[in-house]
Amino acid sequence: MSEVKIFAGTSNEKLAEKIAKSYGKKLGELTMSKFSDGEMSPSFDESIRGCTVFIIQSTNAPSDNILELCLMIDAAKRASAYKVCAVIPYFGYARQDRKDRPRVSIAAKLIANMLTSAGADRIMTCDLHAGQIQGFFDIPLDHLNGSAIFAPYLSTLKLKDMIFAAPDVGGVARARSFAKHFEVEMVVCDKHRKRANEVASMQVIGDVEGKDVILVDDLVDTAGTLCKAAQIITEKGANSVRAIVTHGVLSGKAYENIENSVLEELVITDTIALKQTSPKIRVLTVAELFGKAIHAVTGNTSISSLFI
């Protein structure tokens, strides 16, 4: 077996350190130099010849994070690494996975092509916005499931009348998997958008009266959808509303929206580094999940046991 080395990009170094520690190694030495105009130049400060290299980098905005990852992959291949695996806790541009209107880009496919062209031999990520994005890659992709993080936490809450809710039709399968695991019911919030990040109307399909509702989603951006869904669910007679969301993008007025909402709490993971703290936001770590997955990949064992 080749030696395993783990390196971190600059998007989420704290998470990378936790993942490396969970795996049982320290992060490798890497320098990310920048020219005065902002042009990036990564260099590995130790030999990686013949090594299996894992590069940890979320590709949330700005787009420098994606280019930085591609440059690190390219540098590793040119340094004669045996295999290069891109560990992408949050896969950016995943919301653009199809042509939903004329003359638009399928950005998720473009990013897949860029990573493959850069020289990645394998991709490891968590809770893609759409599962079919896995098919955009012609290299192995390990799609980890955030349910392994959230299910144990939800069990500790011991809610008497728990019910799961999908904040939109696209999240039905995700909410249903939690409902099935906990053997409870689920409801759906049907929304209509005028434009991106702006909800025009929403209605709840199902009975939530007297229930402790758990909204389930893969990412929260401006939090407009979540907060509106929580408000409508509360108006329908719910006892409490909280949300579990894997990726806390949290842009625009997200923090303000959450703090002014009826949400009991928003539970997210550390796939994206938080810009600020909030009394309503609880962060769970995915470090152990990724650490175990890297062990499984390097040991050629199954990762299906990591899923709920």
Please give the positions annotated as active site: 191
**Residue with the two structure tokens 């042009």:** 39
Question: Which ranges in 79-193 belong to alpha helices (H)?
Answer: 107-118, 147-157, 172-182
How many angstroms separate the CA atoms of 268 and 218, rounded? 9
Distance of CA 187 to the CA centre of its chain: 23
Q: Would you give the DSSP letter of residue 83?
A: E
How many angstroms separate the CA atoms of 189 and 194, rounded? 16
Q: Beta 52-56 vs 4-8: how paired, if at all? A: parallel
Contact indicator for 208, 236 with CB cutoff of 8 Å: yes
Instruction: Please give the structure tokens belonging to residue 241.
Output: 């509303």
Decide: residue 198, CB within 10 A, 0-12 exposed, 13-18 middle, 19+ buried.
Answer: exposed
C-alpha to C-alpha distances, 96 to 70, 74, 107, 108, nearest whole angstrom: 20, 25, 5, 6
Return the axis-axis angle of helices 147-157 and 172-182, rounded to nearest 10°: 50
